Chain A
């Protein structure tokens, strides 16, 4: 089945630094990838929709200058948390749509990246 990977799995950083998280579709192409944030035992909160070759679409309340998204290829999207602060500590999950299936409803989810900002 379709596999989505994320790197790193977990990261600890100091307040004020920037952190880049990669999301890759390993065996399929994805024109659209999604970035979510999850708090413990809560629903995934959609942050932005990442489209290959164009600007990401951010959800209301998500600062685009703080959460930079780049979807440079059909298999890679990156989320950069700039000037991270402790309140940015969270579990970040990406998902990708498989172009090949033609089913625009199906998303494949990555394992998540746990960010801790000290």
Chain B
């Protein structure tokens, strides 16, 4: 079956670095997405990886290993506004999104 696993909740300190892991099993693979969702708002696109490696975008980076079915989202220099849910979603061979349940990130001063 198809499945996305990510931790339910993580806590980190303002100014620090946090890595949110995601493992996936999909029927075929057409890329992996990371979204940020603040309470009561629509998910905001953060990154899309389809090739192995690290993609850096400002304070946020995303990594993909297709052989391991693994991705992570790395957030540096954490700010209080980074407190949100982070959703990992894999796209299968039919271009359907398989969603993780989301990781609630709590940033403490």
Name the contact of A44 in the complex, choosing from B42, B48, B85, B102 (C-beta under 8 A). B42
Bound Cα distance from A14 to B40, whole angstroms: 35
Give 6 A-B pairs besides A9-B94, A111-B97, A111-B99 with Cβ atoms closer than 8 angstroms: A9-B96, A44-B45, A106-B102, A109-B97, A109-B99, A111-B98
Kindly supply a per-residue 1/0 record for chain B positions 45-87, scoring 1 wherever the CB is within 8 Å of any chain A CB and 0 otherwise: 1001000000000000000000000000000000000000101
Query: How far, in angstroms, from A24 to B103 measured CA to CA in the complex?
Result: 23
In angstroms, how far is the closest chain A Cβ from the Cβ of B1? 11
Residues of chain B within 8 A (CB-CB) of A108 are 99, 101
A45 an interface residue at 8 Å Cβ cutoff? yes
| Nearest chain A residue, comparing its CB with the CB of B85 | A105
B35 interfacial by beta-carbon distance below 8 Å: yes
CA distance A36 to B97 in the complex (A): 13
B contact set with A: CB distance below 8 Å: 35, 37, 39-40, 42-45, 48, 85, 87, 89, 94-99, 101-102
Which of chain A's residues have a CB closer than 8 A to the CB of B94?
9-10
- Chain A 28-42 interface mask (CB, 8 Å, partner B; 1/0): 000000101000011
Asked if A105 meets B45 with Cβ closer than 8 Å, knowing A9-B96, A10-B94, the reply is no
**Which of A2, A43, A109 lies in contact with B44, CB distance below 8 A?**
A43
In contact, A41 and B35 (Cβ under 8 angstroms): no
B residues near A2, Cβ cutoff 8 Å: 101
The one of B39, B45, B89, B95 in contact with A109, judged by C-beta atoms closer than 8 angstroms, is B89
- Contact between chains at B48 and A41 (CB < 8 Å): yes
The answer for the CA separation of A107 and B89 in the assembled complex, in Å, is 13
**B97 near A46 (CB under 8 angstroms)?**
no
With a cutoff of 8 Å between Cβ atoms, the chain A residues found around residue B97 in the complex are 93, 109, 111-112
Closest to A103 in B: B104
For residue A89, give the distance in angstroms from its CB to the closest CB of chain B: 13
Question: CB-CB < 8 A to B35: which residues of A?
Answer: 43-44
Give complex CA distance A36, B48 in Å: 18
